[in-house]
Amino acid sequence: MGDIRTVVIRPVGEKAYPGLLLYTDIFQLTESTLRTARRLASEGFVVMAPEIYPHGELAGVALEFDDAGKQRGLAGAAATTTTQFDADRTAVLDHLAARADVTDVFVTGFCIGGHLAFRAAFDQRVRATVCFYPTGLHNGALGADVADSLDRAADIRGRLLIVFGSRDPHVPADARLDILTRLYAAGLTDVELHVYTGGEHAFMRDIGPRHDPALTDRALIEAVAFFRET
Q: Among all residues, which ones are annotated catalytic? A: 111, 168, 201
Beta strands in the chain (DSSP E): 6-9, 17-23, 46-50, 102-110, 126-132, 159-165, 192-196
Query: What are the φ and ψ backbone dihedral angles of 98, each rounded to 5 degrees?
Result: -85, -10
CA distance 97 to 118: 18
Selection from 83, 22, 85, 21 nearest residue 53 by Cα: 85
| Type of residue at 46 | V
Integer distance in angstroms from the first to the last C-alpha of the chain? 33
CA distance 170 to 90: 27
Q: Are 28 and 63 in contact (CB under 8 A)?
A: yes
